[in-house]
């Protein structure tokens, strides 16, 4: 199977769907933090922030190849900041819940170091074969094709907003 290219318009549509889901949960902006997982999380947050007020935003530069180094960096850099943050919920944002392994690692770290905050993982896409459950997602992907997001291409198409 070939790659599936996701357009900016499709990503924006899915982000709007996620924003509606988040608004239905009714998370208070001053009691909610947003954790962006890698550049996919940043892209999705940029699409979401048009609809969702985000007061506290944290970027985690996750690289699956260097997960052990990332864990050490997180413990040394962000753990105390996230623990001391006066919020009830951390919304963990990524572009895709593919196998579920990256999100599991991030959720495990946040669970260990957040001081008991609720964790709410959200993604634009969830692969049907993912082993991680309990995520909010906009689109269930049933194919095995690699999804190419517009923020991953060398010559990105023009952003339509």
DSSP string, 10-34: HHHHHHHHHHHHHHHHT--GGGEEE
Tokens of 85: 């943050």
User: What pLDDT was estimated at residue 63?
Assistant: 72
User: What pLDDT was estimated at residue 66?
Assistant: 80
User: What pLDDT was estimated at residue 69?
Assistant: 87
Give the H or E element holding residue 101. helix 101-113
Q: pTM of the entire structure?
A: 0.91
User: What pLDDT was estimated at residue 155?
Assistant: 66
- b/e for 5-35, b at 16 or more Cβ within 10 A? ebebebbbebbeebbeebeeeebeeeebbbb
Number of other CB atoms surrounding residue 1 within 10 Å: 7
User: What pLDDT was estimated at residue 160?
Assistant: 56
Is residue 110 within 8 A of residue 87, CB to CB? The reply is: no
User: What pLDDT was estimated at residue 113?
Assistant: 92
Q: For the structural domain made of 4-152, what CATH number should be given?
A: 3.40.50.2020
Tokens of 56: 């506290």
User: What pLDDT was estimated at residue 34?
Assistant: 94
Rounded-to-integer distance, Cα 80 and Cα 141, Å? 36
Give pLDDT < 70 ranges for the chain: 1, 64-65, 154-161
Rounded-to-integer distance, Cα 12 and Cα 161, Å? 9
User: What pLDDT was estimated at residue 50?
Assistant: 86
């Amino acid at each position: 199977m070939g790659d599936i290219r996701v357009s900016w318009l499709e990503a924006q549509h899915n982000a709007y769907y996620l924003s509606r889901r988040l608004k239905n949960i009714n998370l208070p902006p001053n009691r909610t933090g947003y954790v962006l997982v890698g550049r996919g999380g940043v892209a999705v947050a940029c699409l979401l922030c048009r609809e969702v007020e985000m007061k506290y935003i944290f970027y985690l530069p996750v690289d699956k190849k260097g997960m052990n180094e990332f864990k050490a960096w997180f413990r040394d850099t962000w753990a105390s900041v996230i623990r001391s943050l006066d919020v009830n919920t951390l919304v963990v944002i990524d572009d895709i819940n593919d196998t579920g392994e990256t999100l599991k690692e991030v959720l495990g770290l946040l669970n260990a170091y957040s001081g008991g905050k609720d964790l709410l993982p959200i993604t634009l896409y969830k692969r049907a074969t993912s082993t991680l459950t309990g995520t909010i997602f906009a689109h269930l992907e049933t194919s095995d094709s690699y999804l190419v997001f517009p923020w991953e291409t060398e010559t990105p198409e023009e952003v339509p907003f």
